[in-house]
Amino acid sequence: METESQIVNDIYYLAALCATEGLGKSKIPSALGLLKSARALYEAGEATLKATELFTAKQISAFIVARDKELPDKIKRFCDMKGVELVTFYAEDYPEPLKKIADPPLVLYVWGKLPKYSYGVAVVGSRECSSYGKKVAGDFSAYLANAGVPIISGGARGIDTAAHEACLEAGGTTIAVLGCGIDIAYPPQNESLFKQIAEHGAVITEFAPGVKPLARNFPQRNRIVVGLAQAVLVAEAKRKSGALITAHIAADEGREVYAVPGEVFSDKSLGCHDLIRKGAILVDSPKEILRDAEEWHQRMKAYGKLQSIFDYELTEAERLAAEQQQKAAKLEQEAKQEAKRQQLEQARQQKLAGLSVAAQNIYSNLDNKALSFDEIIEISDEDFLTLNMAILDLQVANLIEEDNTHRYHRL
Give the Cα separation of 247 and 38 in Å (integer).
Answer: 34
Task: Return all residues near 192 (Cβ < 8 A) that are at least 6 apart.
Answer: none
Nearest to 183 by CA among 106, 82, 107: 82
Structural element, H or E, at residue 111: strand 107-112
In angstroms, how far is CA 387 from the centroid of its own chain? 42
The Cα–Cα gap between 206 and 105 comes to 6
Question: Do residues 153 and 176 lie in contact, with contact meaning Cβ atoms separated by under 8 Å?
Answer: yes
Alpha carbon 99 to its chain centroid, in Å, reads 19
3-state secondary structure 289-348: HHHHHHHHHHHHHHHCCCCCCCCCCCCHHHHHHHHHHHHHHHHHHHHHHHHHHHHHHHHH
What type of residue sits at position 197? I
Show Cβ contacts of residue 398 under 8 Å, excluding neighbours closer than 6 positions: 351, 411
Which has the closest alpha carbon to 339: 349, 347, 350, 328?
347
DSSP for residue 44: -
Model's pTM, two decimal places?
A: 0.74
What's the burial of 266, exposed, middle or buried (CB within 10 Å: 0-12/13-18/19+)?
Answer: middle
**What is the crossing angle of helices 286-303 and 131-146, to 10°?**
40
Question: How far is 198 from 138, CA to CA, in rounded Å?
Answer: 19
Q: 105 preceded by cis ω (within 30°)?
A: no
H-only helix segments in 147-285:
159-169, 191-200, 217-227, 242-252, 270-277
Which parts of the chain have pLDDT scores under 50?
1-8, 308-312, 314
Distance CA 60, CA 77 (A): 27
Determine the pLDDT at residue 6. 45
pLDDT attached to residue 309? 46
Q: Pairing mode, if any, of strands 231-236 and 256-259?
A: parallel
- Quote the pLDDT of residue 190: 96
Give the Cα separation of 240 and 164 in Å (integer).
Answer: 23
Give yes or no for a cis peptide into 104 (omega within 30° of 0).
no
